[in-house]
Protein backbone atom coordinates (compact mmCIF):
# COMPACT_ATOMS: atom_id res chain seq x y z
CA UNK A 1 0.00 0.00 0.00
CA UNK A 2 1.37 3.41 -0.88
CA UNK A 3 1.80 5.78 1.99
CA UNK A 4 0.64 9.36 1.83
CA UNK A 5 2.00 11.99 4.16
CA UNK A 6 0.32 14.91 5.90
CA UNK A 7 2.30 17.21 3.59
CA UNK A 8 0.80 15.39 0.59
CA UNK A 9 -2.69 15.91 1.99
CA UNK A 10 -2.05 19.59 2.63
CA UNK A 11 -0.66 20.00 -0.90
CA UNK A 12 -3.75 18.31 -2.35
CA UNK A 13 -5.95 20.58 -0.23
CA UNK A 14 -4.05 23.63 -1.44
CA UNK A 15 -4.41 22.55 -5.08
CA UNK A 16 -8.13 22.02 -4.45
CA UNK A 17 -8.45 25.46 -2.82
CA UNK A 18 -9.50 23.87 0.48
CA UNK A 19 -8.34 24.67 3.96
CA UNK A 20 -7.89 21.71 6.30
CA UNK A 21 -6.87 21.59 9.93
CA UNK A 22 -4.21 19.17 11.20
CA UNK A 23 -6.94 16.88 12.58
CA UNK A 24 -8.77 16.88 9.25
CA UNK A 25 -5.48 16.30 7.41
CA UNK A 26 -4.76 13.19 9.49
CA UNK A 27 -8.26 11.83 8.85
CA UNK A 28 -7.93 12.56 5.13
CA UNK A 29 -4.48 10.93 5.07
CA UNK A 30 -5.98 7.67 6.34
CA UNK A 31 -8.95 7.87 3.97
CA UNK A 32 -6.80 8.62 0.93
CA UNK A 33 -4.48 5.78 1.94
CA UNK A 34 -7.46 3.41 2.07
CA UNK A 35 -8.64 4.57 -1.35
CA UNK A 36 -5.17 4.07 -2.84
CA UNK A 37 -5.10 0.61 -1.28
CA UNK A 38 -8.34 -0.32 -3.02
CA UNK A 39 -7.02 1.03 -6.32
CA UNK A 40 -3.82 -1.01 -5.92
CA UNK A 41 -5.96 -4.15 -5.61
CA UNK A 42 -7.04 -3.57 -9.21
CA UNK A 43 -3.44 -4.17 -10.31
CA UNK A 44 -3.82 -7.76 -9.12
CA UNK A 45 -6.76 -8.49 -11.46
CA UNK A 46 -5.80 -10.46 -14.58
CA UNK A 47 -7.21 -8.56 -17.56
CA UNK A 48 -5.35 -10.48 -20.24
CA UNK A 49 -7.48 -10.88 -23.36
CA UNK A 50 -10.24 -8.51 -22.24
CA UNK A 51 -11.38 -5.73 -24.52
CA UNK A 52 -11.70 -2.26 -23.00
CA UNK A 53 -15.26 -1.18 -22.20
CA UNK A 54 -15.85 2.37 -23.27
CA UNK A 55 -19.57 2.27 -22.57
CA UNK A 56 -22.06 -0.32 -21.45
CA UNK A 57 -25.22 0.80 -23.25
CA UNK A 58 -24.07 -0.16 -26.78
CA UNK A 59 -25.31 3.19 -28.07
CA UNK A 60 -23.45 4.44 -31.13
CA UNK A 61 -23.21 7.91 -32.54
CA UNK A 62 -25.87 8.47 -35.15
CA UNK A 63 -24.56 10.58 -37.97
CA UNK A 64 -25.99 11.68 -41.24
CA UNK A 65 -24.38 12.65 -44.47
CA UNK A 66 -23.74 16.37 -44.72
CA UNK A 67 -25.71 17.42 -47.77
CA UNK A 68 -26.56 20.83 -49.13
CA UNK A 69 -30.30 21.25 -49.59
CA UNK A 70 -31.48 23.64 -52.27
CA UNK A 71 -34.72 25.33 -51.25
CA UNK A 72 -34.93 27.34 -54.47
CA UNK A 73 -34.08 30.65 -52.82
CA UNK A 74 -30.79 32.38 -53.58
CA UNK A 75 -28.48 33.83 -50.98
CA UNK A 76 -28.98 37.30 -52.42
CA UNK A 77 -32.75 37.00 -52.13
CA UNK A 78 -32.46 35.99 -48.48
CA UNK A 79 -30.02 38.83 -47.72
CA UNK A 80 -32.53 41.32 -49.17
CA UNK A 81 -34.77 40.51 -46.18
CA UNK A 82 -32.07 41.50 -43.66
CA UNK A 83 -32.21 45.05 -42.29
CA UNK A 84 -28.48 45.58 -42.94
CA UNK A 85 -25.82 43.56 -44.77
CA UNK A 86 -22.07 43.81 -45.27
CA UNK A 87 -19.82 41.70 -47.49
CA UNK A 88 -22.58 39.20 -48.22
CA UNK A 89 -23.43 38.68 -44.54
CA UNK A 90 -26.11 39.93 -42.17
CA UNK A 91 -24.74 42.80 -40.09
CA UNK A 92 -25.76 42.82 -36.43
CA UNK A 93 -24.95 45.00 -33.43
CA UNK A 94 -21.98 44.04 -31.29
CA UNK A 95 -23.04 42.11 -28.17
CA UNK A 96 -20.62 42.01 -25.26
33-74: per-residue pLDDT in tens?
999 999 999 889 998 998 888 778 878 888 989 998 888 999
Exposure of 9 by Cβ count < 10 A (0-12 exposed, 13-18 middle, 19+ buried)? Answer: buried
Asked if 32 and 9 count as a contact pair (C-beta separation under 8 A), the reply is yes
C-alpha span between 11 and 28 (Å, rounded): 12
Dihedral angle over CA of 24, 29, 34, 38, nearest 10: 120
C-alpha span between 15 and 10 (Å, rounded): 9
Q: Is this prediction's pTM over 0.85?
A: no
What residues does each domain of the chain span? 6-42
Amino acid sequence: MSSISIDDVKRLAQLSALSVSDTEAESLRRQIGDILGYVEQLNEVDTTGLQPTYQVSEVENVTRKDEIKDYGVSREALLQNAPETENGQIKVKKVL
